[in-house]
Structure 1
Amino acid sequence: KWTWSAVFTLQWLGLSIAWLDGAEVLYTYYYPTHIVLVGVTVSLIWRYYGR
């Protein structure tokens, strides 16, 4: 459960920082990191609950 909390917290933190810094930062840094983070999280959960 703490993993989910950490992931969501990181996402909101990244989104807030990107929003404050401007759209350019949002597109350049946040979206790629967000996609990777979500992909890793989903794959880990898939592996954990898939068995």
Structure 2
Amino acid sequence: NSSSLLKTFLVQVFLVEIRKREERGKGLPERYGRDKKYPDSTSHAKKEKN
């Protein structure tokens, strides 16, 4: 049954996407934590965003 194969494929892709987002989410607080230690890097990051 091709539809069941498609469903399992979509579930796999979905799980991979969630994992990627979780990894990104974990990475962000680490960066902000470092910026708190070094205020210069925070102001530098703000300049880059604008």
Normalized against structure 2, the TM-score is what? 0.46
* Higher Cα radius of gyration: 2
Normalized against structure 1, the TM-score is what? 0.46
